[in-house]
Structure 1
Amino acid sequence: MKLLLTGHGYKYAVEQIMLMLFPEERPEYVEGTAELTNTAAAVSLSRGNTYDTATTRLYYGGAVYTGIARRRRCEGSPLEVDRVLQRLIKTAFFRAAVRATGKKPVWGALTGIRPGKIATALLEEGRTEKAVLKTLSTEYYLAPDRAALCLDTARAGLQAAQTLGERDIALYIGIPFCPTRCHYCSFVSHSVEKSMALIPPFLEALHREIDADALSVRKLDLNVVSVYIGGGTPTTLSAEQLESLLKHLAQAFNLSRLREFTVEAGRPDTITPEKLSALKTGGVGRVSVNPQSLCDDVLRAIGRRHTAQEAVSAMHLAREIGFDCVNMDLIAGLPGDTVETFRRSLDTVLSLRPENVTVHTLSLKKGARITLEQTPLPSGDEVGAMLDYAAEKLRAGGYGPYYLYRQKFTSGGFENVGWSLPGFDSLYNILIMEELRTVIALGGGGVTKLVAPKIGRIERIFNAKYPHEYIKGIDGLIAKKSGIETFYHQFIDR
């Protein structure tokens, strides 16, 4: 979509709302109105003595549609002014898009990865739940069910926050290897069939990073309350490698205050009795079995080398080994899936009664095979029907939403939701989505997020994505992560 910005430089705000409303479009900036042809938008902002006004003229389907948003001139801090003006711009664009398409998205004019944080902030201001729902519906144009979803997850986040001490933290360990690459995935991971030789040196480097970070955690007297091992597919590692990693982790860190230990067992074709036993013996209490679909045709379409029955068997195996908290993932919008086959997948998952069910919406990643090959996909309306069915059946089955996030390039601009049975909310998922406390990331592709909750400050430290870069750069990474101690001394212990 061609974009002309006048009177402001809020490119990111414009791109956010454009990508949400028109996920198939990509921004292309132009210099004058002569270049505005179908499909295009002129987005202007004016600041008068009395009012701030945003206007969008959307060129769409051979016609021009106008959206206007206005409010009294904001005279707050620069940060507050930026926030207000960007919201005006998004609202004006949204109004023009609704007029042009005749469709009102369920997420209204609300953009961003963490929609629940707005509800959280309103509750913390002392608003009633009824007032929060009204604000989300009237000021952000959310559909009633999405407003309720924000409120539910905000409530779960606030409840979790009350259980956390100031020095509580979580650990994330990234294992960037997979048996093969799924067609919807652009995640930087290496298939084992191509990079088996990288696993031993990767684990050696990871052990070094564990030792260095554990030393900082001990110096700062931090409490590890949650550990999450993800990827990639951690169960790409052998049972012996998993056992060694878990032992090293327990020796390096004081895990006496650990409340939750999760491993993404992930793909059913990597799950064996030996690996699950190693995880259980190593202290893991929660595992994920992630079929993404329980339709064999869909599994073949996304490049999975396992059947639906193998996923069901992996779930039964997890129970036999003794795991009493299991998560299962499904993705709405996969190639070859229909509303009916998705419903059958969800019904099968519910019959297995996992404690957590995470329902994702397919996100069209730039480097994914289905994007590059322009694979036909379910429509936005079909994806919406899948998600509506999931929400209805999960609530009826006793599950409640406890964490929520959104991604760019999702069909229909929809969301990802974690559902749980009472008492089984994943602390890590809430902590990372609500940004409640520090998460120290180790391994490939991880991002350490240092959080000073009282002052709202967040800093990040990025690990290398590719295994060979991680191995080669481990000395520099360890040196860079001395910033963990610096952050705590500057912003928490002052």
Structure 2
Amino acid sequence: MCKIGILFENRDFEHDVYELIKAFYPEAEIHTLYENAEAEYDLRFSVERDNDSYIIKYERTENLSKQETEQKGVISADILSKENAGCGIQDAHALRKENKDNIKYALYQLLVKLTGRTLPWGNLTGIRPAKLAMGMIESGMKNTEAAREMRERYLVSPQKTALAITIANREREILKDIDYENGYSLYIGIPFCPSICLYCSFSSYPLKVWEKRTDEYVEALCREVRETALMMKGRKLDTIYIGGGTPTTLLPHQIRKLLDTVGEAFGYEGLAEFTVEAGRPDSITREKLMAIREYPVTRISVNPQTMNQETLDIIGRRHTVEQTKEAFHLARELGYDNINMDLIVGLPGEDIHMVERTLEQVRELAPDSITVHSLAVKRAARLNIFKEKYQEMSFENNQEIMDLTMKTAYEMGMGPYYLYRQKNMKGNFENVGYAKVDKAGIYNILIMEEKQPIIALGAGGSSKLVFDHGQRIERVENVKDVSNYISRIDEMIERKRTAIATWL
């Protein structure tokens, strides 16, 4: 494994520098340094600043790849200030953004020279490229001007630029009737799963361990629902999303209790969308789907992740491909006309032929939308914790696979409607939602574009309070541990009450 040291003699934009280097060297062991260390590194970067510029240098002790022929390199990025910025830039936030863009532009050029390769999303290290594109368009730029800005300023590939601009325009059309200033969305988390997937880093708990306490959890959750509805009185509820975990780990009577409480507290009138992410096929039954159908739910998910049984076994999803098909057909039989399916590319051992097999079986089912995730292994995932056990497995994702998923989605009558990125994504790609006309997930767009408050209930819920016309965001966190959530529910409610009173 390559060992990289980054010496920050100046700590401006430390996170951005680290993330961009990590994007070029995803498998490297990277150390941030604040003083010269005697430890040996295969590659060492330094970031310093004088009055007029940031100076980035690298030095390496041996060739890291065939492309890397230079032992040393240096590049500089101009520092803008109120005195030399030009164009009348006086706002401190705007100046900081300009300087951040300058240093990332220079560092990217240095890394391209060093490695001999480029990244599909250029020097963008954030998770919301479509939000960037939408902001440009909403500022008055034409599509062609926004595309040029993404290619030239952020060095995004033409293909990804086109994707971001396309999605930004579709998002604007879908959200045109949403009242950002007075509206909000509601997320309700069910943190239980039949088993925990190998790659999962969410707040999920195995149902077998917790099934005797699910009634207690639902009771605490319903209390949070009722109290939060009082806090949000006078605002317009636009979308509800019940996710997890796996919401259908709840029993039918628990589902009814929760949805009755939500209806009584918030009301279901005027919703633009109501999603229940049924999720794992091995948790879906006729009785549960019939219970959900008693309420004005407009959209559900049946999520296979892959249609290759050998991969399902490896990643710990204890269901069969046949169960996925049965759950999907059952939902159609019961009248669900907006069904999403989540897929993951880059799973251990899967090559393009296995992805193609998944896509063909999904095509036969004909869902109304699909969400294609590029595998991202986060620190909490067992796949990362026990990486030695899985190090001999291949994790393949490339542009050919991403092109195949897009081609299949188009052939199924779907177009892209939202995207986001995560850290440590295989291939430095993205997650893309594709949907047929009028079947896009509105909540998915709202959570990514950060246009309005998202109030999150349940263990691990992270509310985003968007205010000052979308210019500021504050978070309010619920504890992740289920026992703590149940015992400290009054504290969770008071956290919310204080934050909503302060910022909204």
- Normalization by structure 2: what TM-score? 0.91
Q: What aligned pairs does 1:262-301 form with structure 2 within 5 A after superposition? A: 262-301=275-314
Give RMSD over aligned pairs: 1.9
Alignment correspondent of 2:341: 328
Inter-partner Cα distance in structure 2 for 1:465 and 1:259: 29
3-state SS of paired residue (2:155): coil
Alignment correspondent of 1:421: 436
Contact 2:192 2:207 in 1 (8 A): yes
Q: CA deviation at 1:146?
A: 0.7
Q: Which amino acid aligns with 1:357?
A: I
Moved over 6 A (4+): none
Q: What aligned pairs does 1:102-121 form with structure 2 within 5 A after superposition? A: 102-121=116-135
Q: What aligned pairs does 1:415-454 form with structure 2 within 5 A after superposition? A: 415-452=430-467, 454=469
Q: What aligned pairs does 1:367-378 form with structure 2 within 5 A after superposition? A: 367-374=380-387, 375=390, 376-378=392-394
Q: Which amino acid aligns with 1:102?
A: G
Question: Cα 1:56–1:401, aligned 2, differ >3 Å: closer, same or farther?
Answer: farther
3-state SS of paired residue (1:27): strand
3-state SS of paired residue (1:142): coil
Alignment correspondent of 2:236: 223
Q: What aligned pairs does 1:331-410 form with structure 2 within 5 A after superposition? A: 331-374=344-387, 375=390, 376-379=392-395, 382-410=397-425
Alignment correspondent of 1:492: none
Contact 2:184 2:239 in 1 (8 A): yes
Alignment correspondent of 1:176: 191
Alignment correspondent of 1:25: 28
Q: CA deviation at 1:138?
A: 1.6
Q: CA deviation at 1:363?
A: 0.8
Inter-partner Cα distance in structure 2 for 1:117 and 1:96: 27
Inter-partner Cα distance in structure 2 for 1:64 and 1:141: 25
3-state SS of paired residue (1:480): helix
Inter-partner Cα distance in structure 1 for 2:444 and 2:393: 28
Alignment correspondent of 1:316: 329
Q: CA deviation at 1:72?
A: 7.0
- Normalization by structure 1: what TM-score? 0.93
Inter-partner Cα distance in structure 1 for 2:274 and 2:126: 28
Inter-partner Cα distance in structure 2 for 1:471 and 1:445: 12
Q: Identify the match of residue 98 of structure 1 among 99, 112, 123.
A: 112
Contact 1:334 1:377 in 2 (8 A): no
Q: Identify the match of residue 159 of structure 2 among 145, 167, 188.
A: 145
Identity among equivalent pairs (%): 36
Q: Which amino acid aligns with 1:77?
A: D
Q: CA deviation at 1:116?
A: 1.2
Q: Which amino acid aligns with 1:486?
A: A
Question: Cα 1:119–1:54, aligned 2, differ >3 Å: closer, same or farther?
Answer: farther
Q: Deviations over 1:93-149 (max 9, x none)?
A: 222221222211111111101111211121112111111111111221111111111
Contact 2:350 2:395 in 1 (8 A): no
3-state SS of paired residue (1:292): coil
Question: Cα 1:70–1:10, aligned 2, differ >3 Å: closer, same or farther?
Answer: closer
3-state SS of paired residue (2:232): helix
For structure 2, the residue ranges without an aligned partner over 5 or more in a row are 64-69, 83-89
Q: CA deviation at 1:452?
A: 1.8
Contact 1:233 1:264 in 2 (8 A): yes
Inter-partner Cα distance in structure 1 for 2:131 and 2:298: 28
3-state SS of paired residue (1:199): helix
Question: Cα 1:455–1:176, aligned 2, differ >3 Å: closer, same or farther?
Answer: closer
For structure 1, the residue ranges without an aligned partner over 5 or more in a row are 490-494
3-state SS of paired residue (2:373): strand
Inter-partner Cα distance in structure 2 for 1:85 and 1:34: 31
Inter-partner Cα distance in structure 1 for 2:223 and 2:78: 55
Q: Identify the match of residue 125 of structure 1 among 139, 153, 160.
A: 139
